[in-house]
Amino acid sequence: MTRRLLPLLFVAGLLVPVASAQSDGPRMPAAEAAVRATLDALFDGMRAGDSTAVRDVFHDDARLHTAGGPSDTAGVSETPVDAFVAAVGQPRERVWDERTWDVEVRVDGPLASAWVPYVFYRGDERSHCGVNAVQLVRGPDGWRILQLTDTRRQACDVRPEVQKSR
């Protein structure tokens, strides 16, 4: 009897972890989830017009750049972080709503990089779209944005679930 039961118990032992892994679904590693939380805090702060929340996601030495220009040339312009933070906090009638999808995050120790396709709305009006290339560093207070470079254009393939209906 024991000889017959042993192989059955062995197979059952192998199947239990497989079944529980399938029921949990895919999980994002903790470091990647923490990076995403920092990025989400930036966009949530922009929507809320909360300059304090937006400033909190940036490293003290952070830099903001826009890459591109006419015909996708390699022009680069810089916006001081404090100027961006002040602009976010200005009262406005139309919400700044930056929506993202298919975000890719890579982490190596205290350094993370994120590729963030986005579409930017002012209120219900689509302003522009592009990609944010973001480098973050992990410090005592968690992940902070060290560098954010974006592209801006009018034509993008925007996922239907992030588009606003007019």
The domain ranges of the chain are 29-155
Which of 18-32, 121-135, 146-160 is least confident?
18-32
The CA distances from residue 84 to 5, 10, 60, 81, 88, in Å, are 68, 60, 14, 5, 6
Confidence check: pLDDT of 164 > 90: no
Specify the fold of 29-155: Nuclear Transport Factor 2; Chain: A, (3.10.450)
CA 1 vs CA 7, 15, 36, 45, 159: distances in Å: 11, 22, 54, 65, 59
pLDDT at 21: 43
Q: What is the pLDDT of residues 66-108, one digit of tens each?
A: 998 666 667 899 999 999 999 999 999 999 999 999 999 999 9
> What is the tens place of the pLDDT at every residue in 103-126?
999 999 999 999 999 999 999 999
